[in-house]
Amino acid sequence: MTATVQTPGRAATPPPRPLDRRRLLVDAALTALVVLALSFALVGFKIEDVPGGLDLLLRFDDVVVAAALAFLVRLGVDLLGAGRPLPVLATSLALAGALAGLLVAEQGQTEPGALTRWLPFGAVVVDWLVVMIALGFAARAAADLWRRRATVAPVATEASTIAATLRVATRVLGPLLLGVAVTLPFLPEVDRRILDIAILVVTYVMLGWGLNIVVGLAGLLDLGYVAFYAVGAYSYALLAQSFGFGFWTCLPFAGIMAGFAGILLGFPVLRLRGDYLAIVTLGFGEIVRVVLLNWYQFTGGPDGISGIPRPTFFGLELTRTASGGGETFHGFFGLTYSPTDRIIYLYYIVLALALLTNAFTMRIRKLPIGRAWEALREDEIACRSLGINPRNTKLTAFSIGAMFGGFGGAFFATRQGFISPESFTFIESAIILAIVVLGGMGSQIGVVFAAVLLIGLPEIFRDLQQYRMLAFGGAMVVIMLWRPRGLLARRRPTIHLPPEGAGR
Amino acid sequence: MSPPGGQSPASTPLLRVEHLTMRFGGLTAVDDVSFEAADRQITAIIGPNGAGKTTVFNCLTGFYKPTVGRLTLEHPDRGRHLLERMEGYQIPQHAGVARTFQNIRLFGAMSVLENLVVAQHNALMRASGYTFTGLLGGRGYRRAEREAVELARYWLDLVRLTDRADEPAGSLPYGGQRRLEIARAMCTRPVLLCLDEPAAGLNPRESAELRDLLLHIRDRERVGLLLIEHDMTVVMSISDHIVVLDYGRKIADGEPREIRDDPNVIRAYLGEEEDEALPPEVVADRQSARQPGC
Amino acid sequence: MGYFLQQLVNGVTLGMIYGLIAIGYTMVYGIIGMINFAHGEIFMIGAFVSLIGFMLLGLAGVTWVPAMLLIVLVATMALTAVYGWALERVAYRPLRNSPRLAALITAIGMSIFLQNYVQLLQGARVKPLQPVVSGGFAFLADGDFTVNLSYLQLIIIVVTFALMVGFTYLITRTAFGRAQRACQQDLGMAALVGVNVNHTIAFTFVIGASLASVAGLMFLLNYGVIDFYIGFLAGIKAFTAAVLGGIGSLPGAMLGGLLIGLIEAFWSAYFTVEYKDVAAFSILVLVLIFRPTGLLGKPDVEKV
């Protein structure tokens, strides 16, 4: 929470100690054994669908390779810890080189599969991952070696340097990111696919900022945020379908409905603490989804609602031809029609919504209600002793967060043109919460980083579809282990003591 | 109901506790305790550990609902309030009772100054038009915030934390945190300040400073103080009035001089076996030896 | 009446499965105060390991049902326990002194990871299993309605009871149980008086995982189909059960599991199947509002 970023451990490079070879080997062997046990059943046998039932497919080579790799990894970690980077460097480089060579050769092969039997694991991606890990070990070992050579160890100041760099970086980065975000559609190399990804990322940034009010500022653990997102989306879809209202008319309604839902849920449950609140909000999220799924007459059930109107630009439609008496955007301005126009417009809508959320949060942090939220996060009992009404204060945070979720939902509905309960599962809540926590609770720019990392990167590597969620879950774990307080956990005070006599 | 025992000051008391009883299941933590605290005076509540002192505080400040009893606070500026009927957060807001905690409860990640500004929440909420006009950046709110900062500065100067105003409260040393908690309570502009062991863990120099601070609050800020304390040097030197609890019952009530010589009190602190009454200095010494720093 | 009794039998069977999972939640919550979100996936892994076990035994020609059940039970418990251990070692132990949210996020991350890990390795298709235990007996005839208790349901109930007896013995009578209870009271103090806290927590995960794997086995036998997604809903409902019974309380977990199972069975029987999950969650919300410590939980007095 202080201005200095703490990087744990990692003082000077450990001096070489006498090696306890036996222990090293036993350690590595035990690790290999655990991996063997983990992979024995699930990796060793694959349940295959065959006509008339199931069959088992043996994959023991993979089990053996996994155990061997685990042996090497553990050995490498221990050796680095004991200050012996040289063997690690040699082994990992050799391994990475051999494997990468095979992979490249395999790709160049005219007859695919000729070299495959020399490659561990059936999947090329996994092999490349092994190469990357080996290279990581090599880099770490090389760094250790270099540091030992250097006469003055710069390690002691490492933590503070990182902190200073970060501080400067965030100051410069904010405006820079904003600049990129605003000009993005007109940058070279930006095509429709990238714009689509950008819309998705900015949507999550906005939702992250909305949830940040609830989780980051007020410290209320909400695992059912997607419920408010759903309320917003369905409010818009139903209003548009039943009464023919447009996006801009419905947007405030969607927010208000979601905020109202937040009050309804929050009123009874906000006196619960911590994890209990988390589980109740999770339950609420599921209830909303199940109701949407089963209330067929009203929500269309699993079929969802389709034909949700697209947003118009002051009444102008962003389509090739206008529907029923309307006018088109390109027609009005005398431009040639481009289908990307609509995407660009959607992008700017969500960017504006996100910036609105951000501006709101920045502003309200400096108001008494925002400070009371943070105080409540720190110590509820102390708040009560200062005359702050905890329930009302929490309720405002909860419903304002919900309101932004509702805005996000309305945008989602208008972008997709179709919504169904499928889109509002628990995993969405988990993703949004992960963005907030990974970014560093309460940090606005951290949310941006986390959203780009968690949403943008997997979208760009969409070809690896099947590994996407695996990598997502893995990344959540790894980032948290690496920085338990989030990527950018820094809190700037909302008010400074002016010098004596100033402003009077 | 007639005013209970002890001597009552000439004017009406600021706080009147009548027949306060608090039971937790089968345990009676406070048993039919009545006493009064006068305005602009320091009233100390003392007694061995587990005597029910903090429970009395928790009833006064709305954290517990008393099983039996009436707690009346009366002040010319604030009117008359029956504390046992109020919600916890309303007591500081309307009746003007502020408190500190035995185990310090600051907003650790927030800056020292923010802690003091949060304490003025209700006034600032009104000034910010309950957030609506504040969001639009009203002039009235900016002025109110400036005033809030000035009040905070006044207290920061008094507790010598001005140069650490922008640091996180959690990074202050222990003594600084204790002083900040008192300053924060005072920023709510109370008429009665309840301090739960403010001298615990302080060294002799800090303890002396604390005494001066409490006397300042009594004499300059014109606030009544209710004080739970084990450090007898502090209690005896600044209290105007002392209430002694033991096993949840009141065993003595009076001026420091009277309490010092009260055989009941000596028995409670030193046990039944001691026949001869020991000089009060010894009582104080043994007492602080029995409760080192808690 | 007959219909009612039949639902009672079904509900108890289902409740036993939830209860076994709930114990893992309640133990972990009791000892380190975190919701082990990945516990539902451990249950799912138990079901998959069981399925592979049955298929292997089928290939090996073992057809005597009691032997099959016993072998699969032991193998599943052992192999799934390793997952529980590894989960704690890799994802939770390094974060024990970090903000609580960090551990919650890794738990959710682990849950997503394990789900997709199994999907990747075993495919996304639903996996059916030929009924291993078939038959049953009519145990009460009420007019033209007979209440059936299948052998399978009998096995589930008996095995759960046996496990519960063993488990209760473990917690109340052994050194591990003492250490476990001490850690629940106060981790720091337990460490000071010489309890190996790391081992105790690791073993708690091992026990929780092996009980969940038995639940996975029973789920597989009872429903005959599994997929990589079964852990989520079962996990949430089991957590609901743990909260309903009073989190931290072991008998509470079993009781909560039974209640959730019964509620689900009766709701499906007498009201609408579609809203059975809503019923379970609504009960959770109501319990938490009116009795936040659950049915058997200790009241938690606010310390000021």
Q: Output the CA–CA distances (angstroms, integers) from residue C6 to B146, C1, C3, C142, in the order listed.
A: 72, 9, 5, 11
- The three-point CA angle A103-A108-A110 to 5° equals 125
Task: State the pLDDT at residue C39.
Answer: 94
Write out chain C residues lying below 8 Å of B53, CB-based: none
| Lowest mean pLDDT segment, chosen from B111-120, B146-155, C139-148 | C139-148
A314/chain C closest Cα distance in angstroms: 42
Q: Is C300 part of the contact surface with chain B (CB cutoff 8 Å)? A: no
Give the list of residues 6+ apart from residue A212 with CB closer than 8 angstroms, or none: A361, A436, A441, A442, A444, A447
What CATH number does residue B17 fall under?
3.40.50.300
Task: State the pLDDT at residue B31.
Answer: 87
> Do residue B169 and residue B199 come from a single domain?
no
Residue B284 reports pLDDT greater than 60:
no
* C261, C234 contact by CB (below 8 A): no
Residue B245 reports pLDDT greater than 90:
no
> Do residue A311 and residue A341 come from a single domain?
yes
- What type of residue is B29? A
- Tell me whether residue B267 is in a domain: yes
DSSP state of A454: I
pLDDT interval class at A501 (50, 70, 90): low
* Tally of domains within chain A: 2
- Tell me whether residue A464 is in a domain: yes
> Do residue B285 and residue B196 come from a single domain?
yes
Mean pLDDT in residue range A305-322? 74
Buried b / exposed e over A305-337, threshold 16 CB at 10 Å, is beebbebbbeebbbbeebeeeeebbbeeeeeee
Q: Is A389 part of the contact surface with chain B (CB cutoff 8 Å)? A: yes
The chains found to touch A (3+ Cβ pairs under 8 angstroms) are B, C
Task: State the pLDDT at residue C60.
Answer: 85
Structure tokens at C239: 């957590």
Write out chain B residues lying below 8 Å of C301, CB-based: 24
Q: Closest residue of A to B169, CA-based? A: A2
Q: Which of C108, C115, C239 sits opposite A476 (nearest CB)?
A: C108
> Do residue A391 and residue A472 come from a single domain?
yes
Mean pLDDT in residue range B144-168? 87
Contact across the interface for A221 and C94, Cβ inside 8 Å: no
Contact across the interface for B131 and A497, Cβ inside 8 Å: no
Q: Is A378 part of the contact surface with chain B (CB cutoff 8 Å)? A: yes
Q: Which of B188, B204, B239 is the last residue of a domain?
A: B188
| Lowest mean pLDDT segment, chosen from A279-288, A445-454, C280-289 | C280-289
Interface of A with B in 392-411 (CB under 8 A): 396
C5/chain B closest Cα distance in angstroms: 40
Q: How many CB pairs under 8 A join A and B?
A: 127
* A270, A398 contact by CB (below 8 A): yes
CATH of domain C2-160+197-290: 1.10.3470
Structure tokens at C289: 């509002």
- Tell me whether residue B101 is in a domain: no
Q: Which of B137, B162, B188 is the last residue of a domain?
A: B188
> Tens digit of pLDDT for each residue in A388-404?
988 889 999 999 999 99
Structure tokens at C294: 């659950």
> Do residue B179 and residue B204 come from a single domain?
no
Q: Where are the domains of chain C?
A: 2-160+197-290
- Tell me whether residue B158 is in a domain: yes
DSSP state of B172: S
Nearest to A374 by CA among A221, A213, A210: A213
Strand partners, B23: B28
- Tell me whether residue A163 is in a domain: no
> Which of A4, A495, A496, A500 best probes binding to B when mutated, by most B CB atoms within 10 angstroms?
A495
Percent of chain A with pLDDT over 70: 85
Residue with the two structure tokens 């919600």: B87
Q: Is A485 part of the contact surface with chain B (CB cutoff 8 Å)? A: no
> Do residue B205 and residue B258 come from a single domain?
yes
Interface of C with A in 13-42 (CB under 8 A): 29, 33-35
> Do residue A321 and residue A348 come from a single domain?
yes
Contact across the interface for B101 and C301, Cβ inside 8 Å: no
> Do residue A309 and residue A368 come from a single domain?
yes
Give the list of residues 6+ apart from residue A373 with CB closer than 8 angstroms, or none: A213, A217, A218, A219, A393, A397
Task: State the pLDDT at residue B291.
Answer: 47
Task: State the pLDDT at residue B3.
Answer: 42
Distance CA A416, CA A410 (A): 10
Q: Closest residue of B to A2, CA-based? A: B168
> Do residue B170 and residue B205 come from a single domain?
no
Q: Is C300 part of the contact surface with chain A (CB cutoff 8 Å)? A: no
Higher per-residue pLDDT: B59 or A5: B59
Task: State the pLDDT at residue A5.
Answer: 39
Q: Is C175 part of the contact surface with chain A (CB cutoff 8 Å)? A: no
> Tens digit of pLDDT for each residue in B164-210?
888 888 888 988 899 999 999 999 889 999 999 888 888 888 888 88
Interface of A with C in 139-198 (CB under 8 A): none
- Tell me whether residue B278 is in a domain: yes
> Tens digit of pLDDT for each residue in B91-102?
888 888 899 998
* B30, C271 contact by CB (below 8 A): no
Residue A129 reports pLDDT greater than 90:
no
> Tens digit of pLDDT for each residue in C130-165?
888 877 777 776 666 777 788 888 889 899 989 988
- The three-point CA angle A381-A385-A391 to 5° equals 60
| Lowest mean pLDDT segment, chosen from A275-289, B93-107, C134-148, C227-241 | C134-148
Radius of gyration of chain B (CA): 20
Contact across the interface for A287 and C278, Cβ inside 8 Å: yes
Mean pLDDT in residue range C297-302? 63
Q: Closest residue of A to C285, CA-based? A: A280
Q: Is A34 part of the contact surface with chain C (CB cutoff 8 Å)? A: yes
> Do residue A112 and residue A254 come from a single domain?
no
Could you tell me the residue range of the domain that residue B154 belongs to?
106-188
Percent of chain C with pLDDT over 70: 96
pLDDT interval class at A114 (50, 70, 90): low
A484/chain C closest Cα distance in angstroms: 6
Q: pTM, whole model, 2 decimals?
A: 0.81
Q: Which of A360, A387, A497 sits opposite B113 (nearest CB)?
A: A497
- Tell me whether residue A84 is in a domain: yes
Mean pLDDT in residue range C27-42? 88
Q: Which of B188, B209, B241 is the last residue of a domain?
A: B188
Interface of A with C in 212-271 (CB under 8 A): 215, 221, 268-269
- Tell me whether residue A499 is in a domain: no
Mean pLDDT in residue range C41-60? 92
* B47, B235 contact by CB (below 8 A): no
> Which of C26, C41, C59, C106 best probes binding to A when mutated, by most A CB atoms within 10 angstroms?
C106
Could you tell me the residue range of the domain that residue A104 belongs to?
21-156
> Do residue B286 and residue B197 come from a single domain?
yes
Interface of C with A in 51-70 (CB under 8 A): 51-53, 55-56, 59
> Do residue B139 and residue B87 come from a single domain?
no
> Tens digit of pLDDT for each residue in A202-261?
999 999 999 999 988 888 888 889 999 999 999 988 888 888 777 888 888 889 999 999
* A275, C35 contact by CB (below 8 A): yes
> Do residue B244 and residue B284 come from a single domain?
yes
- The three-point CA angle C170-C175-C178 to 5° equals 80
- Tell me whether residue B238 is in a domain: yes
The chains found to touch C (3+ Cβ pairs under 8 angstroms) are A, B
Q: Output the CA–CA distances (angstroms, integers) from residue A199 to A184, A225, A230, A246, B241, in the order listed.
A: 11, 20, 18, 20, 69
> Which of A1, A366, A385, A494 best probes binding to B when mutated, by most B CB atoms within 10 angstroms?
A385
Q: Is A330 part of the contact surface with chain B (CB cutoff 8 Å)? A: no
Percent of chain A with pLDDT over 90: 12
Question: Could you write out the DSSP letters of every residue in C27-48?
Answer: HHHHHH----TTHHHHHHHHHH
pLDDT interval class at A458 (50, 70, 90): confident
Task: State the pLDDT at residue B294.
Answer: 38
Nearest to B46 by CA among B227, B168, B172, B238: B227
> Do residue B129 and residue B161 come from a single domain?
yes
- Tell me whether residue A8 is in a domain: no
Percent of chain C with pLDDT over 90: 29
Q: Which of C49, C98, C117 sits opposite A41 (nearest CB)?
A: C49
Distance CA A146, CA A125 (A): 31
Residue B273 reports pLDDT greater than 70:
no
> Which of A380, A426, A478, A480 best probes binding to C when mutated, by most C CB atoms within 10 angstroms?
A480
- Tell me whether residue B58 is in a domain: yes
> Tens digit of pLDDT for each residue in C274-299?
777 788 778 877 877 787 777 887 76
C304/chain B closest Cα distance in angstroms: 7
> Do residue A260 and residue A406 come from a single domain?
yes
* Tally of domains within chain B: 2
Q: Which of B89, B128, B166 sits opposite A497 (nearest CB)?
A: B166
pLDDT interval class at A9 (50, 70, 90): very low
Q: Is A70 part of the contact surface with chain C (CB cutoff 8 Å)? A: no
Mean pLDDT in residue range C98-103? 80
> Tens digit of pLDDT for each residue in A73-94?
888 888 888 777 888 888 888 8
- Tell me whether residue A408 is in a domain: yes
> Do residue B91 and residue B122 come from a single domain?
no
> Do residue A263 and residue A379 come from a single domain?
yes
Structure tokens at B247: 């096993």
